[in-house]
Structure 1
Amino acid sequence: MPRTKEFDPDAVLDRAMCQFWEEGYERTSVQDLVEATGLSRSSLYETFGNKHELYLAALDRYRDRETKQLVERLEDGSSPLSCIRSVFEDARSACAGDDGRGCFVVNATVERARCDEDIGRRTAASLQGMENAFAMAVRRGQTADEVDASLDPVAAGRFLANAYRGIHVTSQLRPDRAVLDDVIDATLSVLTPS
Structure 2
Amino acid sequence: MAQTPMPWEKKYDESEVLDRAVAAFWDHGYEATSISTLVKATGLNRGSLYAAFGDKRGLFLRALDHYDQTRRQVFLHALTAGEPPRAAIRALFRRVAEGSLGGHDRRGCLLVNTALELAPYDPEIERIVTERLGELEAFFRDRIIAAQRDDTVAPGTDAEDAGRLLLSLFIGLRVITRSYPRPKVVGSILGQVDAILG
Q: TM-score, normalised by structure 1?
A: 0.91
Q: Indicate how the Cα distance of structure 1 residues 41 and 113 shifts in structure 2: closer, same or farther if over 3 A, else same.
A: same
- 1:117 paired residue among 118, 123, 127: 123
Q: Which moved more, 1:33-42 or 1:63-72?
A: 63-72
Amino acid at match of 2:112: V
In 1, the alpha carbon distance for the partners of 2:72 and 2:106 equals 17
Question: In the alignment, what sits opposite 1:52?
Answer: 57
Among 70, 79, 83, the alignment partner of 1:73 is 79
Q: Does 1:150 align with 2:156?
A: yes
Q: Which residue of 1 aligns with 2:66?
A: 61
User: 1:114-147 CA distances to partner (integer Å, 9 max, x unpaired)?
Assistant: 1111110111011100011111100011111111
> How many corresponding residue pairs?
191
Mapped contact 1:67–1:129 kept (Cα < 8 A): no
Q: Does 1:25 align with 2:40?
A: no
SS in structure 1 of the partner of residue 197 of structure 2? coil
**Aligned 1:85-104 pairs, distance under 5 A:** 85-96=90-101, 97-98=103-104, 100-104=106-110
Offset, 1:71: 3.4
Alpha-carbon displacement from aligned partner over 1:46-73 (angstroms, at most 9, x marks no partner): 1111110101111111122303311330
In the alignment, the residues of structure 1 paired with residue 140 and residue 51 of structure 2 have an alpha-carbon distance, to the nearest angstrom, of: 39
Counterpart of 2:6 (choices 2, 12, 26) is: 2
Read off the aligned partner of 1:41 and give its amino acid letter: R
Could you tell me whether the CA contact under 8 Å between 1:71 and 1:133 is conserved in 2?
no
- Per-residue deviation, 1:19: 0.6
How high is the sequence identity, in percent, across the aligned residues? 35
- Unpaired runs of 5+ residues, structure 2, are none
Shift of 1:177: 3.6
Is the 8 Å Cα contact of residues 99 and 105 (structure 2) preserved in structure 1? Answer: no
Alpha-carbon distance, 1:99 to partner: 5.0
Residues 98, 108 of structure 1: CA spacing in aligned structure 2 closer, same or farther, 3 A cutoff?
Answer: farther
Find the aligned partners of 2:172 and 2:119 in 1 and give their Cα distance. 17
Residues 54 and 110 (structure 1), Cα distance of their counterparts in 2 relative to 1, 3 Å cut:
same
* Alpha-carbon separation, structure 1, partners of 2:92 and 2:85: 11
Hey, what does 2:175 align to over in structure 1?
169
Q: How does 1:172-183 map to 2 (within 5 A)?
A: 172-183=178-189
The structure-2 alpha-carbon separation of the partners of 1:5 and 1:14, relative to structure 1 and needing over 3 Å to count, comes to same
**1:156 and 1:99, CA in 2 relative to 1: closer, same or farther beyond 3 A?**
closer
